[in-house]
A and B are shown apart, each in its own frame.
Chain A
Amino acid sequence: AQSVTQLDSQVPVFEEAPVELRCNYSSSVSVYLFWYVQYPNQGLQLLLKYLSGSTLVESINGFEAEFNKSQTSFHLRKPSVHISDTAEYFCAVAYSSASKIIFGSGTRLSIRP
């Protein structure tokens, strides 16, 4: 069955420390991968996406994610987090150009000063 797994429901990190949010998906020939961020009391914003091409994708606010086909992973990383990064992060996958997005269960990133 097609699925997305975010193993960590919560990740507490100190400010300016690095962070990695893990995401694994069930294998398929073609896959489109996304990270969405949801700040408190807001809707979802697309943080970054992998559709094709370079396996390393970056966002404008310092996050990056790497598509690893052999490990079926799309982990999200940031070398130094800020208080403003406190949010819920959802990994998502689509298995074809016409398919629904399947969301992971989410990871709550909390930043300690």
Chain B
Amino acid sequence: DTEVTQTPKHLVMGMTNKKSLKCEQHMGHRAMYWYKQKAKKPPELMFVYSYEKLSINESVPSRFSPECPNSSLLNLHLHALQPEDSALYLCASSQGSRASGGYNEQFFGPGTRLTVL
């Protein structure tokens, strides 16, 4: 299995809602990432988990809360979002920095398109 899956594909939520995005991989990767991508822009890194521990938080507002319940799963909990948070949210995974050898390339999921009303 060489896929990263993300659910749901589309999500529409109000500013007072609480929702979660889910990401899953079964490649044995130990690093997982959340990116935010606005239209016609490159992905922006939000969070990195390495060996189930949060290793990078790119100064993301607390209304985004990541969670890594195990090595295959990554969640992004959303609460009190703003309309400007509407974007494509991409999950990615890689082998992990402790793996031997050169750079560990990232494999991306198809994304969740989030609309905040």
A43 contact from B90, B103, B104, Cβ within 8 A: B90
| Count of interface residues, chain B, beta-carbon cutoff 8 Å | 23
| Given A42-B110, A43-B111, A98-B97: A103 in contact with B105 (beta carbons within 8 A) | no
Q: What CA separation (Å) do A98 and B107 show in the bound complex? A: 16
B102 contact from A32, A46, A103, A104, Cβ within 8 A: A32
Residues of chain A lying within 8 A (CB to CB) of residue B110: 42-43
Whether B41 lies near A106 (C-beta < 8 A) is yes
Secondary structure dominating the interface of A: loop
Q: Which of A43, A100, A101, A105 has the most CB of B within 10 A?
A: A43
Q: What CA separation (Å) do A108 and B41 show in the bound complex? A: 11
Q: What CA separation (Å) do A45 and B109 show in the bound complex? A: 9
Contact flags B74-89 to A (C-beta < 8 A → 1, else 0): 0000000000000010
Whether B104 lies near A97 (C-beta < 8 A) is yes
Residues of chain A lying within 8 A (CB to CB) of residue B105: 34, 46, 49
CB distance from A26 to the nearest CB of B (A): 16
B56 contact from A34, A97, A100, A104, Cβ within 8 A: A100
CB distance from B5 to the nearest CB of A (A): 10
Residues of chain B lying within 8 A (CB to CB) of residue A41: 113
| Given A100-B56, A103-B43, A106-B40: A51 in contact with B103 (beta carbons within 8 A) | yes
CB distance from A78 to the nearest CB of B (A): 21
CB distance from B14 to the nearest CB of A (A): 23
| Given A32-B102, A34-B105, A51-B102: A42 in contact with B111 (beta carbons within 8 A) | yes
* B69 within 8 Å of A (CB atoms): no
Closest to B4 in A: A43
A interface residues (Cβ-Cβ under 8 A, vs B): 32, 34, 36, 41-46, 49, 51-52, 88, 90, 94, 97-98, 100-101, 103-106, 108
13 additional contacts, CB 8 Å, given A97-B97, A106-B41? A36-B108, A41-B113, A42-B111, A43-B6, A43-B90, A44-B108, A46-B106, A51-B103, A90-B42, A100-B48, A101-B45, A104-B42, A105-B42
